[in-house]
Amino acid sequence: MTAIFLHPDYTPTETSAKLTFGGNRLNRQSEERADDCVDVALANPSTRLMGFARGRVLVALGAERASGLHSLESLSAFAPKIDRAVLLGFDGDAARLAVPLGINPDEEGFSLPEPFKAIDYRSLARQQLLDAEELGIVAQGGAVLAWHANARFSGRSGQETVMVGGGVKRRCEADGRDEFPRTDPVVIMLITHGDRCLLGRSHHFPAGMYSALAGFVEPGESIEMAVRRETHEESGLFVGDVRYHASQPWPFPHSLMIGCYGEALTDIISRDESELDDCRWFDRETIRTLLQQNDSGGPHEDGALFLPPRLAIANRLVLDWAGLG
C-alpha cells in the first residue's frame, strides 16, 4: 500500500511505526473532499469497506490470511448502514471506508456464515489476524465512528448535526458551525531511577499485571508537564527530565498514547491508593525475566507478576528500556 504523502521508496523506521495500530498509510485527503465523496467512492468497484459492530470488526478468515476489507456487495448481507459510512482515505486510487453494521454480535445465539467472524480490536491485535496497515485502518475507523455516534447533537446549540465531507466533520444545522473528530491525548510514561523502573497496578487490572503509569493530558499542559503531574499524583514521585519515545493510536475509543521516559528525582513512593492498587520499583534483570515470561504465550500462574502484551505501547517502553527491543 502507498499513500501520496509518503515517498514511494521510504518506509518509516521510527518506533511508533512498529506499534500495533500505528501502520495506517492511507492518504486521507481531509482538505480536498466534496460532500458526495462517499457516494462517488461507493460507485467505484475498487473501493473496500471495513464493517464495525459494537466494538468488533467483520473479518473474513481465509486459508492464507484474514482480511477486514470487503466489497460493498460482500458486506451487503450484514446490514451495513451506508448512510453513516465514513471515507477514511485512499490506498493509491482505491477508497477505504468505515461503515457501521446492523448486526449485534452480543445477541444470544448470534452467528455468522463462514468464513466471517466479528472480532474485537484487542483480539485482532493479539492474534495478529490482520496486517499492520489493516490494523491501522481498524484504529482510524473505530475511533471516527465512535466520535460520530457521540456527536449527533451540537454541544453548543443542542441541535442535531449532520455528517459532511464524507465524515471528516459534522455541521450543526442550526448555526452552521463545524465540529471535528476528537483525539484524546494520553501520556504513558516509564519512570526510571538508576537501574530501576517504576510500574504500577490500577484497580481494574487483571491480578498480577503491572504497567507504566498513564493519564490524560489536561488543557494548557505540555506533554512533559503532564508526565510530571500524573506521576506525582499517582506515586508521589518528583520527575525531572522527560523525553518522548513513541506514540500509538488507541481506539478505546479515540485516544493517542504518547509514550515517554521520565527520570525520577527521588525514589520514595507515596502511592495514591484511590488511583493505584500497588506501585513499586523493578530492577532491569527482573524486567527482562518478566518480558521473557510474557513471550512464552502460556497462561499466568495465580499470583505471578506479568506485563502488558506486545500490542500495548507500555510493553514497548519497558522492552526498549530493558534493551530487548
Q: The pTM is what?
A: 0.94
Task: Name the DSSP letter for residue 232.
Answer: H
pLDDT reported for residue 1 = 44
Q: Report which secondary-structure segment, H or E, holds 170.
A: strand 169-172
User: Can you tell me the mean pLDDT for 219-239?
Assistant: 98
Q: What is the dihedral of CA 11, 14, 16, 17, to 10 degrees?
A: 20
More confident residue, 303 or 166: 166
pLDDT reported for residue 5 = 77
Burial of 307 from C-beta contacts in 10 A (0-12 / 13-18 / 19+): buried
Q: CA-CA distance, 38 to 95, in Å (whole number)?
A: 9
User: Can you tell me the mean pLDDT for 298-318?
Assistant: 86
How far apart, in Å, are the Cα atoms of 255 and each of 21, 51, 95, 143, 248? 11, 20, 24, 8, 9
Strand ranges across the sheet with 161-164 = 161-164, 169-172, 178-179
Given a cut of 50, whether residue 306 has pLDDT beyond it is yes
Contacts 24+ apart (CB under 8 A), 31-38: 33/87, 33/165, 33/166, 33/168, 34/165, 35/164, 35/165, 35/166, 37/87, 37/165, 37/166, 38/85, 38/86, 38/87, 38/97, 38/166, 38/167
Q: CA-CA distance, 80 to 74, in Å (whole number)?
A: 10
Tell me if residue 177 falls in helix, strand or coil: coil
pLDDT reported for residue 325 = 79
C-alpha cell at 195: 537501574
pLDDT tens-digit map of 107-143? 999 999 999 999 999 999 999 999 999 999 999 999 9
pLDDT reported for residue 298 = 54
pLDDT tens-digit map of 184-202? 999 999 999 999 999 999 9
pLDDT reported for residue 294 = 81
Q: How many residues does the chain have?
A: 325
Percent of the chain with pLDDT over 90: 89
pLDDT tens-digit map of 257-292? 999 999 999 999 999 999 999 999 999 999 999 999
C-alpha cell at 103: 448486526
Q: Using 50, 70 and 90 to split pLDDT, how confident is the model at 63? A: confident
User: Can you tell me the mean pLDDT for 9-19?
Assistant: 93
How far apart, in Å, are the Cα atoms of 173 and each of 157, 169, 261? 10, 13, 45
Given a cut of 90, whether residue 7 has pLDDT beyond it is no
User: Can you tell me the mean pLDDT for 19-29?
Assistant: 95
pLDDT reported for residue 8 = 81
C-alpha cell at 312: 500495548
Note whether 108 and 118 are within 8 A (CB): no
Measured at the alpha carbon of residue 57, what is the angle toward residues 70 and 41, in degrees to the nearest 5?
35
Q: CA-CA distance, 147 to 168, in Å (whole number)?
A: 11
